[in-house]
C-alpha cells in the first residue's frame, strides 16, 4: 500500500470478502442447479407460509437500498437486480448486512438524523438473514415489485447538459500518477440553475476521486492539456460543483434547492488517477439536471471546504488529533458534510460553535473508512448565524494497530498521495429564505 493505488487494493480486499463468500461467483461457474431453480430451500421455506422469499421480501429492500450501485455498469462488483443475480451471493449478502457493512454508512446513530441514511432496519436485516438461512428461496415471481429503471450510465436520470473533457487522458499501466487538473468549458451563454450533478468517468477503475471547482470564465479558449497544478488566477464561483469518491454517488439536491452555473464559467477537475496493471484511457463527463422552477422560487445551494494543511503526525501515534475550523461570514443553513482523510484516518466529527457560546455536534463518524467516503445530508439543515464557527476534529492512527497503515515509522504530513494524509471538511449550505437572487 505504498503506491498511489493502495486505496484500490484495500477496497478490492474488502470486496473480496464478499467474493470469497460466493464460491460459484468466484470460480466463474454457473450457480448450482438448486440455486438456479430455488429448490434448495429449507422445508419451512418450501412451505411458503412463514419464510421470506426473494420476490416478496428481499427484492423490495434490494431495489430500494442496493441496486443503485449493484447493477450492470455501476460501481459495485456484481448486480443484484434479479433473483438469478442475487442467489449466488445470498451468504455474502447475509454476512454484509448482519455486520452492518452494507449498505455503507458511517454516522453515529446517536448524533443527528440524515436524509440519505441507507441503513437497514433490524427487521430487514433479520429477514435477509432468515432468507439466506432458509436456502434463499425465490418465491412467486408475481410478488416482485417493478424493477427499478436507470438512465444508461447515469444515476441522476438523463442529464440536460453534459460537459466532457476535451481530450482523453492516458493512464499508464503502472506507477504513480500525480494529481492532474483538467479544465472543461461549459460554453454557456446564460446562467443555468441545476438541481443535480453527477461526475462519470469513462473508466471508473482508474479514478480514485474527482474534485470539481467552478471558475469564472476569462474569455480565452480552454487549454485541454492536463496540468500538474491548479491555476490560482481563476476565481472560484460558489464552492465547487460536485465530486466523485469511493462509495459516493452524487444525485439531486434537496427540494427547492439549486446551484447556479454562471454564463461563461469553466469547470476545473482535480483528477486522481490510479494504475491497474494495464494502460487505459479516461474521458470524464459531468452531467447536470436543470431545476424546473424559476430562480426566484429557488434557494441557492453553496458550500466550501475546511482544510488543515500544517499537521505533523508522529511515528507510531495511535490517536493523533487534527482540528480545522472556519468562521461563517453570513447567515446560512448547513445541509451536508463530507469529511476527507486517507488511510490513517480514524474518526471525525463536525461541530457548530454558535456566537452565543453554544456548541452542537452535528456529525460523528466513529470509524472512518477510506474505502467508503460518504456525504452526510442532514434531514433538517442546521441554521448557522453569521459569526458561527464550523469545527472539524479528526484523529489518526499511525500505529502498527492500523492494518491499512503503509508505514507506522513515518512522520506524516499533508500530501496528495494515499501514503500521506489530509484533513478536509467539505460542507454544503442552503441560503436563508428572503430576497431572492436575480
pLDDT digits (tens, 9 = 90+) for 194-245: 999 999 999 888 888 888 888 888 778 899 999 988 787 788 876 677 778 7
pLDDT recorded at residue 11 = 32
pLDDT recorded at residue 26 = 32
- Give the pTM: 0.76
Protein fold of 298-438: Jelly Rolls (2.60.120)
pLDDT recorded at residue 167 = 96
| Range scoring the smallest mean pLDDT among 140-144, 251-255, 366-370 | 251-255
Residue with the larger pLDDT of the pair 219 and 22? 219
pLDDT recorded at residue 248 = 57
Distance of CA 410 to the CA centre of its chain: 29
Could you tell me the pLDDT band of residue 294, with boundaries at 50, 70 and 90?
Answer: confident
Residue with the larger pLDDT of the pair 53 and 49? 53
Could you tell me the pLDDT band of residue 50, with boundaries at 50, 70 and 90?
Answer: low
Cis amide leading into 241 (omega within 30): no
Distance of CA 395 to the CA centre of its chain: 21
Q: Distance (Å, rounded) from C-alpha 342 to C-alpha 323?
A: 15
pLDDT recorded at residue 435 = 53
pLDDT recorded at residue 217 = 82
Could you tell me the pLDDT band of residue 271, with boundaries at 50, 70 and 90?
Answer: very high
Task: Decide if 269 contacts 190 (C-beta within 8 A).
Answer: no
Q: Tens digits of per-residue pLDDT, 349-388?
A: 999 999 999 999 999 999 999 888 888 999 999 999 999 9
pLDDT recorded at residue 252 = 78
| Residue 6 cell numbers, joined | 493502495
410-428: average pLDDT = 92
pLDDT recorded at residue 328 = 96
Q: Distance (Å, rounded) from C-alpha 65 to C-alpha 93?
A: 13
Cis amide leading into 103 (omega within 30): yes
Q: Tens digits of per-residue pLDDT, 306-337?
A: 999 999 999 999 999 999 999 999 999 999 99
Nearest residue to 408 via CA among 418, 398, 416, 417: 398
Q: Distance (Å, rounded) from C-alpha 24 to C-alpha 20?
A: 9
Burial 333-347 (b: 16+ CB within 10 A, else e): bbbbbbbbbbbbbbb
Q: Mean pLDDT score of the chain, rounded to an integer?
A: 84
Residue with the larger pLDDT of the pair 23 and 279? 279
Protein fold of 152-297: Jelly Rolls (2.60.120)
| Range scoring the smallest mean pLDDT among 82-91, 96-105, 233-242, 403-412 | 233-242
pLDDT recorded at residue 15 = 30
Residue with the larger pLDDT of the pair 287 and 297? 287
As a 3-state breakdown, the chain gives helix, strand, coil percent values, each rounded to 5, of 20, 30, 50
Domain span(s) for CATH 2.60.120.230 in the chain: 152-297, 298-438
DSSP 217-231: --SSPPP-S-BSS--
Q: Tens digits of per-residue pLDDT, 51-79?
A: 899 999 999 999 998 988 888 867 777 89
With H, G, I as helix, E, B as strand and everything else as coil, classify residue 74.
coil
Amino acid at each position: 500500500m505504498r503506491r498511489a493505488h493502495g486505496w484500490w487494493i484495500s477496497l478490492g480486499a474488502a470486496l473480496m470478502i464478499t467474493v470469497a463468500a460466493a464460491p460459484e461467483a468466484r470460480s466463474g461457474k454457473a450457480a448450482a442447479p438448486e440455486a438456479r431453480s430455488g429448490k434448495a430451500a429449507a422445508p419451512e421455506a418450501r412451505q411458503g407460509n412463514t419464510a421470506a422469499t426473494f420476490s416478496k421480501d428481499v427484492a423490495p429492500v434490494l431495489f430500494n437500498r442496493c441496486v443503485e450501485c449493484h447493477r450492470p455498469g455501476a460501481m459495485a462488483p456484481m448486480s443484484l437486480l434479479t433473483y438469478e443475480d442475487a442467489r449466488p451471493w445470498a451468504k455474502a449478502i447475509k454476512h454484509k448486512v448482519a455486520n452492518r457493512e452494507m449498505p455503507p454508512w458511517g454516522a453515529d446513530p446517536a448524533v443527528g438524523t440524515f436524509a440519505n441514511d441507507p441503513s437497514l432496519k433490524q427487521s430487514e436485516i433479520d429477514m435477509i438473514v432468515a432468507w439466506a438461512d432458509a436456502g434463499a428461496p425465490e418465491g412467486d415471481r408475481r410478488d416482485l415489485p417493478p424493477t427499478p429503471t436507470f438512465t444508461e450510465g447515469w444515476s441522476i436520470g438523463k442529464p440536460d447538459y453534459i460537459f466532457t473533457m476535451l481530450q482523453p487522458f492516458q493512464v499508464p499501466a503502472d506507477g504513480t500518477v500525480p494529481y492532474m487538473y483538467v479544465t472543461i468549458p461549459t460554453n454557456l451563454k446564460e446562467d443555468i440553475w441545476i438541481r443535480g450533478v453527477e461526475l462519470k468517468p469513462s473508466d471508473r477503475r482508474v479514478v480514485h476521486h474527482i474534485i470539481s471547482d467552478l471558475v469564472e470564465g476569462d474569455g480565452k479558449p480552454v487549454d485541454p492539456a492536463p496540468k500538474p497544478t491548479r491555476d490560482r488566477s481563476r476565481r472560484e464561483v460558489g464552492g465547487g460543483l460536485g465530486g466523485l469518491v469511493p462509495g459516493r454517488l452524487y444525485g439531486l439536491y434537496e427540494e427547492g434547492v439549486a446551484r447556479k452555473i454562471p454564463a461563461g464559467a469553466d469547470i476545473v477537475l482535480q483528477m486522481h488517477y490510479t494504475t491497474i496493471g494495464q494502460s487505459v484511457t479516461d474521458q470524464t463527463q459531468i452531467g447536470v439536471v436543470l431545476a424546473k422552477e424559476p430562480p426566484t422560487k429557488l434557494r441557492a445551494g453553496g458550500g466550501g471546504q475546511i482544510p488543515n494543511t500544517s499537521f505533523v503526525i508522529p511515528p507510531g501515534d495511535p490517536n493523533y488529533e487534527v482540528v480545522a475550523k472556519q468562521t461563517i461570514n453570513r447567515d446560512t443553513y448547513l445541509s451536508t458534510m463530507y469529511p476527507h482523510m486517507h488511510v490513517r484516518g480514524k474518526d471525525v466529527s463536525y461541530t457548530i460553535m454558535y456566537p452565543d457560546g453554544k456548541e452542537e455536534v452535528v456529525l460523528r463518524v466513529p470509524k472512518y473508512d477510506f474505502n467508503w467516503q460518504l456525504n452526510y445530508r442532514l434531514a433538517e439543515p442546521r441554521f448557522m448565524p453569521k459569526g458561527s464557527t464550523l469545527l472539524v476534529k479528526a484523529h489518526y492512527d499511525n500505529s502498527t494497530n492500523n492494518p491499512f497503515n503503509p508505514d507506522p515509522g513515518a512522520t506524516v504530513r499533508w500530501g496528495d498521495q494515499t501514503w500521506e494524509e489530509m484533513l478536509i471538511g467539505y460542507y454544503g449550505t442552503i441560503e436563508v429564505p428572503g430576497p431572492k437572487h436575480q
